[in-house]
Structure 1
Amino acid sequence: MTSSARIPAPPRTQAENAPAAPSARWRTSLRRATSLLPGPSDYRGLRRTWKGDLLAGVTVGIVALPLALGFGVSSGLTAEQGLITAIIAGLLAAVFGGSNVQVSGPTGAMVVVLVPIVASYGAAAVASVTLLAGLLVLAAGVLRLGRVVGIIPWPVIEGFTLGIACIIFMQQIPLVTSPVQAAPGEHSSNALVAAAQALSAADPGYLLQALGAVAVVVACMLIAPRIHPSVPGSLIGIALVTVLCAVLPGPLARIGTIPATLPSPSLPALDPALLQVLLPAAATVAALAAIESLLSARVAAGLADTGVYDPDRELVGQGVASVGASLFGGMPATGAIARTSVNVRAGARSRLASVVHALVLLAVVYAASGPVGAIPLAALAGVLFMTAVRMVHLATVRTILRSTRADSLTFVVTALITVSFDLIAAVLIGVTLAAIFALRGISRSSGVTLEPIRSAQPQEGDEEILAVRFDGQLFFVSAERVFDTVMAVGPVSVVILRMSALEAVDASGAKILSEIVRGLERRGITVLLKGVQDDHSALFRKVGVLRALRHQKHLFVQFDAALEHARSHVRRDRAARQLTEPQAAPTSEEPTARTERR
């Protein structure tokens, strides 16, 4: 017969007994750090997708050319700076970013922020702002803040997009009203006011010719997709207007000379006094870059099976992209939703497409800088007019406005603040407004119902028992209302708090429950607690809800057991009251207690 005794294990050595936690933590930190860097896995399927990626890269490069030029001019800088940003930032974000198909570069939203910065500090300050913003975005990625964008509600995103579209549209009006670009500070930094100022000082003859150029570009952009989706209508329109202006000389302002090479990289001016002044502007740019890039990457992930995106690495990539652009005198870059959508729909499945897009734009600088410099600014305005219009989806706007009053109000307020004041303020106010409405909804969904006892076998004294049923969530927003409702109960002997339908509770809600229990007990009302869920019991214990009960036996799982215990309390209380009540002598007019019971 073998013994079932366990054989003792040999004693462990000192090395085996040493804690492995520091080494494990170091490996975890190293793994998390390397996950933010490029690796061979980024190009795992390249052998299968490279042909489609090359075609998509060329396509999106052609689409991005007029946008890069236009956004550079609209921001108060130069077309060259927009092109440099699309090349440098587009390449760096493609390699270091967290999305396989994201296309980065200058965007309309960034232009909206840059215009007041250029007006206040001059064009020379943009490189320093770009550097600071890039470092802030990079730090946000390293600190793993990429998931924060998930808290932005859909109505806020759409209101923000609508406001940006309106601003982009209005920013083009000065380009079609005068052959001379306004000097920094000449027009208001608010796009609506600046558009009104430009229209009031417009040259009618110039305006007519500029609108003709806009009409040609818009017509090409509308007709080209009907011929074939891959036909670049914007580029055709720009080429046609450029040729017409060369054949029929007119006053339309041109882009001007563009260098045939990239400038040499250099560190922007880092004067401490200037940096302190520019830091708030850089923080605004960084917040916008992070929000727009993450939204674009999230949209791209849902367009096709291109793999998941890493939001933290996306922030790192966008930060590196803006830092790189600043070294070449460029402007801040973000992920571009429109160009990313074109990239995916053109067949992009890996980062190669975004890299090729940047190389196509680089080839334009070295091989076609002369023709590009001859492009009329009005033609670029036409492209951006159409870009702004296409950013607004009427079906989406109607859906939000018809959804709920809270969502429609959030949408409208966000759009109005975006146009009237500031983009980041619009997002913050929109999120705050949505949170207020959400808390209000939670407050209304937090139900507390007073239920008299209605049993299939009623017993004498049931009218002295009251059940209080809690439904939904019990958070700080509804705690006071619940307290007032429960404490307003009439003269009863026992209250059963039914907690099984309580979905969620926070510390404030638990604190209110403990105050309800203590308040009722002080009034001589016995409180029984029924159906406390396992998820809530630890919180109730820590906050003092269970400790507030008169006895630990006043905690029940089933309602029938709680009701029976409540009835025993009522019987005992009635018996005690009968013993303490004075016995009055019966009179001829008053029946005795014995007669009354009969």
Structure 2
Amino acid sequence: MNATPLTRHARSLLPSPADYRESRRSWPKDLLAGATVGIVALPLALGFGVSSGLSAEQGLITAIIAGFLAAVFGGSHLQVSGPTGAMAVVLVPIVASHGADAVIAVTLVAGIIVALAGLLRLGRSVSFIPWPVIEGFTVGIAAIIFLQQVPFVTTPADLAPGEVSTNAFVAAVQLVSSADWSYLPYSLTAVAIVAVCMIIAPKIHHAIPGSLIGIIVVTVLAGLVPNPLATISAIPQSLPAPSLPSFDLTALPSLLPAAGTIAALAAIESLLSARVASSMSDAGTYQPDRELVGQGIASIGSSLFGGIPATGAIARTSVNIRAGARTRLASIVHAFVLLLIVLVAAAPVSRIPLAALGGVLFVTAVRMINVGTMRSILASTKSDAAGFVITALITVSFDLIVAVGIGVIVAAYFALRKLSATTTVGIERLSESDDARAGDESIAVVAFRGPLFFASADRIFDEVMALDGVSVVVLRMSQLELVDATGAHILADIVTGFERRGKTVLIKGVKDGHAGLFRQVGVLRALRHQAHLFDDLPSAIAHARSHVERARAQS
């Protein structure tokens, strides 16, 4: 029995042996790549956990559990998932407003939403986000990640929610103005050491994990030299037992907007990362719907272990590919490497100074900004530059998802305005043609060209209805492209308007793709007679001339 489309779609969302077919040959490369990206992911997982307003432990749990589940169930062979800077940016105000416990419940709900989006085949929706908007979003996130590290270098004390603004820029200004100046020399030295290691290491060899080396150097020095640097709190030497998040069901409605924001961000970032991976390697092809299902399952699993939302991580995915990964086995190994670190090295990890993690994220934020890309966008078109700048500013000032939404709206506005300008009408008086006859001064041919839709409909109506001094109007539709309901309605109004003025309207060249819409909206019904519909221009002109001759004979 042949499978139905629904059955085929369901099967495409499930793991299969084909996911590991190439691993028979590539497993040595996959193991090495997985170990490499696991080492690189360690400081990022710790840093983004703390930067979220939660704990380093929760960042590690997320990288392990979500990283494993997304690798198995996701739609990309090379994607590496875990806590990310963009998600940390979203979580900070949620922690401040609802508390740390609410984040775990929100993670569960967001994971369910993302998985449902995959089941509903919404994986291709990210293609509707313009490139300048994506880049503006990235620049805004980078700026917020940079600003969120200010607490790591300005004060050794933990600040309670509400002591500083939830806006990253305002909070950074508050913290700098009240900084502990006796603490700054130590914290800034730690940041500088990590930054230098991260800058120099790739120049020696691309596989050297500069961030990890920098953290080790700072941690060792902090153990040898007396200092006031705050460190990561103790990390358990095992994963917690899975359990359902405990939260008050009456509080769920207030958490749904936050869950929706997290779900939207997880979907967007994961699909963008998977798309980048597909362009970097011939093994990087991906299934967008399955990717959403996998990321949803990953966040659900993370929440059961007390973790935070996960997304595909572009930086770790890039490291994975550059290290030679060919299958999802590499991403699975990355998760087990992190688990091994938790099991055997939890004590040393707990002694890492927070300022060292801040240094990692300072450099990560700077590297997210591609100056060449910014110049290209700003030098392209005014509309693309506006979308880029507006998205970046709103991301920093207000909300990430709102920024993307407004950025898309701005881009759509300029695109529609530009598209509507391509809609034109050519009005030709038949008396001005080479084969003009007596009475042709009473006939005009109106040729519609380009798309006729809501953005151009009113302008076209005004231009056409300004036509006067004729008794027969031939509307040429053969060069009409896209037509929506508004455009068809305007055509019906044009026909009705001319007929009310006593002018005879003939329509020529309705395309097959437009006929159904014209019939439903009433364009054809507005004609005085169905015989006034023609397939070719000579027949329409001959009929128009017969109308003029008849009118002359009667007058």
Instruction: Give the TM-score band, short-chain normalised.
Output: over 0.9
One-letter amino acid matched to 2:442: E
Structure 1 residue 195: deviation in Å? Answer: 0.6
Structure 1 residues not aligned, in runs of 5+:
1-22, 578-598
One-letter amino acid matched to 1:360: V
Aligned residue in 1 for 2:451: 473
Q: 2:514 aligns with which of 511, 529, 536?
A: 536
Matches within 5 A, 1:144-293: 144-293=121-270
1:513-554 C-alpha deviation (Å, 9 max, x unpaired)? 122112212222121212221211222222222232233332
Distance 1:237 1:307 in 2: 31
| TM-score of the two chains, using structure 2 as the length reference | 0.96
Aligned residue in 2 for 1:314: 291
Distance 1:121 1:554 in 2: 67
Residue 347 in structure 1 maps to residue 317 in structure 2? no
Structure 1 residue 249: deviation in Å? Answer: 2.0
Distance 1:443 1:415 in 2: 27
Instruction: Kindly indicate whether the alpha-carbon contact (under 8 Å) linking 1:72 and 1:81 is maintained by their aligned counterparts in 2.
Output: yes
Residue 92 in structure 1 maps to residue 69 in structure 2? yes
Instruction: Kindly indicate whether the alpha-carbon contact (under 8 Å) linking 2:425 and 2:447 is maintained by their aligned counterparts in 1.
Output: yes
Q: 1:43 aligns with which of 20, 32, 48?
A: 20
Distance 2:57 2:64 in 1: 11
Secondary structure at the aligned position of 2:100 is classed as coil
Instruction: Kindly indicate whether the alpha-carbon contact (under 8 Å) linking 2:78 and 2:284 is maintained by their aligned counterparts in 1.
Output: no
Aligned residue in 1 for 2:347: 370
One-letter amino acid matched to 1:384: L
Secondary structure at the aligned position of 1:403 is classed as coil
Distance 1:143 1:534 in 2: 31
Distance 1:77 1:542 in 2: 57
Aligned residue in 2 for 1:585: none
Structure 1 residue 166: deviation in Å? Answer: 0.4
Structure 1 residue 314: deviation in Å? Answer: 1.0
One-letter amino acid matched to 2:366: V
Matches within 5 A, 1:500-539: 500-539=478-517
Aligned residue in 2 for 1:443: 420
Instruction: Kindly indicate whether the alpha-carbon contact (under 8 Å) linking 2:277 and 2:284 is maintained by their aligned counterparts in 1.
Output: no
Instruction: Kindly indicate whether the alpha-carbon contact (under 8 Å) linking 2:50 and 2:59 is maintained by their aligned counterparts in 1.
Output: yes
Residue 386 in structure 1 maps to residue 354 in structure 2? no
Distance 2:293 2:187 in 1: 41
Distance 2:249 2:408 in 1: 34
Greater mean deviation of Cα atoms: 464-473 or 170-179:
464-473
Instruction: Kindly indicate whether the alpha-carbon contact (under 8 Å) linking 1:98 and 1:312 is maintained by their aligned counterparts in 2.
Output: yes
Instruction: Kindly indicate whether the alpha-carbon contact (under 8 Å) linking 1:462 and 1:567 is maintained by their aligned counterparts in 2.
Output: yes
Q: Percent identity?
A: 66
One-letter amino acid matched to 1:474: L
Residue 74 in structure 1 maps to residue 16 in structure 2? no
**Aligned-residue CA RMSD in angstroms?**
1.6
One-letter amino acid matched to 1:120: S
Secondary structure at the aligned position of 1:430 is classed as helix
Distance 1:330 1:114 in 2: 12
Compared CA separation, residues 243 and 307, structure 1 to 2 (3 A): closer
Structure 1 residue 163: deviation in Å? Answer: 0.7
Distance 1:280 1:470 in 2: 46
Instruction: Kindly indicate whether the alpha-carbon contact (under 8 Å) linking 2:478 and 2:511 is maintained by their aligned counterparts in 1.
Output: yes
Q: 2:548 aligns with which of 565, 570, 580?
A: 570
One-letter amino acid matched to 1:155: P
Residue 458 in structure 1 maps to residue 433 in structure 2? no
Aligned residue in 2 for 1:559: 537
Distance 2:551 2:344 in 1: 99
Structure 1 residue 212: deviation in Å? Answer: 1.4
Greater mean deviation of Cα atoms: 530-539 or 110-119:
530-539
Distance 2:488 2:100 in 1: 56
Greater mean deviation of Cα atoms: 40-49 or 377-386:
40-49
Residue 432 in structure 1 maps to residue 409 in structure 2? yes
Distance 1:208 1:337 in 2: 33
Number of equivalenced pairs: 554
Structure 1 residue 558: deviation in Å? Answer: 2.7
1:562-597 C-alpha deviation (Å, 9 max, x unpaired)? 2233233223322322xxxxxxxxxxxxxxxxxxxx
Distance 2:118 2:23 in 1: 26
Structure 1 residue 290: deviation in Å? Answer: 1.3
Structure 1 residue 24: deviation in Å? Answer: 6.5
Structure 1 residue 307: deviation in Å? Answer: 4.6
1:225-244 C-alpha deviation (Å, 9 max, x unpaired)? 11111111111111111122
Instruction: Kindly indicate whether the alpha-carbon contact (under 8 Å) linking 1:179 and 1:251 is maintained by their aligned counterparts in 2.
Output: yes
Structure 1 residue 162: deviation in Å? Answer: 0.8
Distance 2:131 2:506 in 1: 44
1:421-443 C-alpha deviation (Å, 9 max, x unpaired)? 11111112222222222222232
Greater mean deviation of Cα atoms: 562-571 or 192-201:
562-571
Distance 2:513 2:86 in 1: 44
One-letter amino acid matched to 2:487: G
Distance 1:523 1:399 in 2: 53
Distance 1:367 1:410 in 2: 48
One-letter amino acid matched to 2:381: T
Instruction: Kindly indicate whether the alpha-carbon contact (under 8 Å) linking 1:532 and 1:557 is maintained by their aligned counterparts in 2.
Output: yes
Structure 1 residue 473: deviation in Å? Answer: 0.6
One-letter amino acid matched to 1:392: I
Structure 1 residue 167: deviation in Å? Answer: 0.3
Instruction: Kindly indicate whether the alpha-carbon contact (under 8 Å) linking 1:177 and 1:202 is maintained by their aligned counterparts in 2.
Output: yes
Aligned residue in 2 for 1:328: 305
Q: 2:29 aligns with which of 28, 52, 56?
A: 52
Aligned residue in 2 for 1:586: none
Structure 1 residue 28: deviation in Å? Answer: 4.0
One-letter amino acid matched to 1:367: V
Structure 1 residue 133: deviation in Å? Answer: 1.3
Structure 1 residue 312: deviation in Å? Answer: 1.4
One-letter amino acid matched to 1:414: T
Aligned residue in 2 for 1:582: none
1:146-176 C-alpha deviation (Å, 9 max, x unpaired)? 2222211212111111110000000001110
Secondary structure at the aligned position of 1:476 is classed as coil
One-letter amino acid matched to 2:209: P
Matches within 5 A, 1:296-307: 296-307=273-284
Instruction: Kindly indicate whether the alpha-carbon contact (under 8 Å) linking 1:76 and 1:184 is maintained by their aligned counterparts in 2.
Output: no
Distance 1:373 1:447 in 2: 68
Distance 1:126 1:83 in 2: 16
Secondary structure at the aligned position of 2:182 is classed as helix
One-letter amino acid matched to 1:262: L
Aligned residue in 1 for 2:271: 294
Greater C-alpha Rg? 1
Residue 413 in structure 1 maps to residue 393 in structure 2? no
Distance 1:222 1:82 in 2: 24
One-letter amino acid matched to 2:181: P
Aligned residue in 2 for 1:592: none
Distance 1:279 1:486 in 2: 50
Instruction: Kindly indicate whether the alpha-carbon contact (under 8 Å) linking 2:74 and 2:293 is maintained by their aligned counterparts in 1.
Output: yes
One-letter amino acid matched to 1:471: R
Secondary structure at the aligned position of 2:366 is classed as helix
Residue 124 in structure 1 maps to residue 101 in structure 2? yes
Structure 1 residue 477: deviation in Å? Answer: 2.0
Instruction: Kindly indicate whether the alpha-carbon contact (under 8 Å) linking 2:76 and 2:291 is maintained by their aligned counterparts in 1.
Output: yes
One-letter amino acid matched to 1:149: V
| TM-score of the two chains, using structure 1 as the length reference | 0.90
